[in-house]
Amino acid sequence: MNLFERVYGCLAGLALGDALGMPTEFLTREQIGKEFGWVDHPLRAPAWHPHHKLRAGQVTDDTGQALAVAHAYALDGSLTAEAVARELVAWSEQVGENLPLVVGPSTRLALEQIKAGGDPRKTGRKGTTNGASYRAVIVGLVNCHHPEDLIPQVVEACLPTHGTTTAISAGVAVASAVAQAMLEGASLESIFDAAQLGAREGRSHGVWAWGTPLEGRIELALKIVAESGSPEMALDDLASCVGVDMLVAESVATAFGLVSLAEGDVMLAVTYGANIGGDTDTMAAIAGAVCGAWQGIDALDGKILARVEKINKLDLKAEAERLVAIIDSKG
């Protein structure tokens, strides 16, 4: 499998997870079952749902913010908080009136401050939620062969909206997992080890904020999956024991549990993410990105991908080609 196939698979896995999780976000497992049955393809949110104005297959902020980081990268592989802030503002203006429907509280506050002239190295000092974790996927891709640059660039990607220790810890965990998944010969075990090490190392950066150490929560999620009797039991236990909220110790840890439950299968991972409840789009996006990098683009459902790209006017192949050029430029 070549580099392009992995990068494209990662971006596609993220977008599909985002799109499948969109209509089920904020719902419980029980509500999802009652409203939809089982979600395994793009659907529209119910009329009473916050995302009811979005079309079936439309993505939320996870994909948009990740691509904003991709666009913030210079062709030589450098990244700054200022460039990330600029691209996030540009993305938010493209979203327009739908922005309040898709963006999280930390990002919303930071964007308001940035637009008012705030320093993007300081506007994320209160961001403790998972909003920067999916953006870090791009940093993992770009630095799959340059681990020495991964943490500094995750910090730059997080600072404008999520500059706290807990948020950066989650960003480094996700980026490290993606970078490991990109490597030939990577195993699920090595991916989870990279995520847990990244969570520990990332916590030494940023403005201190209280949070349960993420690496322990990832370990708990993996243990629950290993000891579960069925996928349904695993989803129930992940949701109730690890959690599915925007807190990184919940949703980001559970996302790795979904990767384990799916045994790295990207379509299963995004489907499980869409049905687990809570912050479904983010968990499915992270799980999809990790599995997509590991399995490559051929593992994704081409028909669903084409539909999601068309509805959102995305050209993920072109985005992947640009990222591959940046990776190659770093040597």
| Closest to 319 (Cα-Cα) out of 71, 13, 17, 18 | 71
- Predicted confidence at residue 3, as pLDDT, reads 97
Domain assignment of residue 283, yes or no: yes
Domain assignment of residue 266, yes or no: yes
What pLDDT digit, counting tens, does each position of 145-191 carry? 999 999 999 999 999 999 999 999 999 999 999 999 999 999 999 99
Task: Quote the DSSP letter at residue 46.
Answer: P
Cα angle value 89/19/11 (rounded, 5°) = 70
Domain assignment of residue 49, yes or no: no
Domain assignment of residue 35, yes or no: yes
Domain extent for 285: 3-42+54-330
Compute the average pLDDT of residues 309-325. Answer: 97
**CA 155 – CA 242 distance, rounded (Å):** 26
Dihedral of the CA atoms 298, 299, 301, 306 (nearest 10)?
Answer: -40
Average pLDDT, the chain: 95
Domain assignment of residue 246, yes or no: yes
Between 2-6, 72-76, 99-103, 195-199, the lowest mean confidence (pLDDT) is in: 99-103
Domain assignment of residue 60, yes or no: yes
Helix residue ranges per DSSP H, 96-164: 99-102, 105-115, 136-142, 147-158
Band of residue 290 on the pLDDT scale cut at 50, 70, 90? very high
Domain assignment of residue 48, yes or no: no
What pLDDT digit, counting tens, does each position of 133-156 carry? 999 999 999 999 999 999 999 999
What pLDDT digit, counting tens, does each position of 15-74 carry? 999 999 999 999 999 999 999 999 999 999 999 999 998 999 999 999 999 999 999 999
| pTM to 2 decimal places | 0.97
37: domain CATH number is 1.10.4080.10
What are 247's strand-pairing partners?
A: 129
pLDDT above 90: residue 331: no
Task: Quote the DSSP letter at residue 40.
Answer: -
Band of residue 94 on the pLDDT scale cut at 50, 70, 90? confident
The answer to whether residues 150 and 143 touch, using CB atoms and an 8 Å cutoff, is yes
Q: Domain count of the chain?
A: 1
